[in-house]
Amino acid sequence: MSDYLIFFTTILAAGVASGTPVLYATIGEVFSERAGVLNLGVEGMMLMGAVTAFRVSHVTGNPWLGLAMGILVGGLFSLLHALVSITLRGDQVVSGLALTFVGFGMSSVIGWPLIDVRDAPRLPAFDIPLLADIPVLGKIFFQHSVVVYIGFLLVPLAWFIINRTRPGLHMRAVGEYPAAADALGIHVDRLRYLYVLVGGLLAGMAGASLTLAITPLWIEGVTAGQGWIAVGLVIFAGWDPFRAAFGSYLFGAIRRLPLDLQGAPVLPWNLHLILRDPLLNYFTNMLPYLFTIAVLVIGSREAMRKKLGAPAALGTPYIRGERGV
């Protein structure tokens, strides 16, 4: 069975790595939605972050500068959504979708000269001393790129900010009952801008971590729907960073699973031949999508949503003097 221990360790380790961009995007969206703004433009912001990071890293030779610029551009891009949905009180669904399309197109244009290039300096990967030597866990968690480790730090930090700090309380108030928050003297619009920006910065980080570490090359549409997965995962996670991390890594592992099964280690009675059957792919390839759809279906039920803890004012613009939700 030790073959299987190695087998699953490998899949989980791959899941942690390839789930990391989704993790950033998901936590970013948690911030935005906790403040009451739904942003469906995650895919677009990720693409902008991805292309910017790759291009800056390629031109300057400094991946850290690339990362910084990728984060920044993701943030700037999200302000478009903030402008339309908060200041102009436009429809958040439409505005977010527009952001996705614009992001796809603009990133293609910006990425055009990069098609021949394909080699930008990458962010470093290293084993964490001592921790990397722990059997099984070391391989799963502590032998990765630096962006994975930053993700480990981000999760508790995000949780702490949301649940244990005054700004976090204000943010939640704005997302749950903006009229009350307003009455208490909290600047609803200003805070919503801030957290949409935070969401954008993290989506930019998600894209940057993709092109600088996880899928280190630029190709049109390199995110391949991961931004949408993040939107679904927010619901799965019940707007909680720790569950977002669990969901992201699980999602990463599920994506890797069908490939590894094709070389599954030997089992008694030739059971491994069933696992190795590439036809199983048609089923396993479906899993991430089934997973997301299931989450959406569950999340769309009113009672379930309350249970999951959806911010009550999510998706509704706040207009002072009008009745709240």
Partner 1 sequence: MQSKKLWLVLGLLTIIALLIAACGGAAETPAAGGEEGGAAPAETEEAPAGGEATPAEETGGVSIPEPEEGMFNVAFVYVGPIGDAGWTYAHNEGREYLEANVEGVHTVYLESIPEGADADRVMRGLARKGFDAIIATSFGFQFGMPEIAAEYPDVAFLHVSGFLKNDTNFGNLFGAMEQAKYVAGMIAGARAKEDGSNRVGFIAPWPIAEVIRLGNALTMGVRETCPECEVDIRWIFTWFDPDKEIQAAQSLLDAGATVVVTGADTPGPVQAAGERGLWGIAYDSDTSCSAAPESCLTVPYWNWGVAYAQFAEEVKAGTWQPSDWYMGAEEGIVGVLGITKGEFPDAVPDWVIPLAQEKWDKMTSGEITRFDLFTGPIYDNKGNLVVPEGVTLTQEDLEGLDQATIDSFGLDREACTICMNWLVEGFVPDAQIPAMPEG
Site residues, partner 1 (CB under 8 A): 10, 14, 18, 38, 40, 43, 93, 97, 101, 104-105, 108, 111-112, 115-119, 125, 214-217, 219-222, 224-226, 228, 231-232, 255-256, 259-260, 262-263, 273, 276-279, 281-282, 285-286, 289, 292-293, 296-297, 299-300, 302, 305, 314-316, 325
Which CB, 134 or 224, lies closer to partner 1?
A: 224
Residue 153 sits at the vertex; the CA angle it makes with 152 and 156, to the nearest 5 degrees, is: 95
- Of 49, 288, 9, the closest CA to residue 134 belongs to 9
Which CB, 180 or 286, lies closer to partner 1?
A: 286
Which CB, 189 or 220, lies closer to partner 1?
A: 220
User: Taking a C-beta distance cutoff of 8 angstroms, is the pair 41, 29 a contact?
Assistant: no
Which CB, 10 or 62, lies closer to partner 1?
A: 10
Beta carbon of residue 64, minimum distance to partner 1 (angstroms, whole number): 18
Beta carbon of residue 13, minimum distance to partner 1 (angstroms, whole number): 9
Written as one string, the DSSP assignment of 69-113 is HHHHHHHHHHHHHHIIIIIS---HHHHHHHHHHHHHHHHHHHHGG
Beta carbon of residue 324, minimum distance to partner 1 (angstroms, whole number): 12
Q: What CA–CA distance (Å, rounded) separates 204 from 32?
A: 14
Which CB, 246 or 289, lies closer to partner 1?
A: 289
Instruction: Tell the burial category of 259 from Cβ atoms under 10 Å away from its Cβ (0-12, 13-18, 19+).
Output: middle
Beta carbon of residue 221, minimum distance to partner 1 (angstroms, whole number): 6
Q: Give the Å distances, CA to CA, from 279 to 263, 273, 275.
A: 13, 11, 9
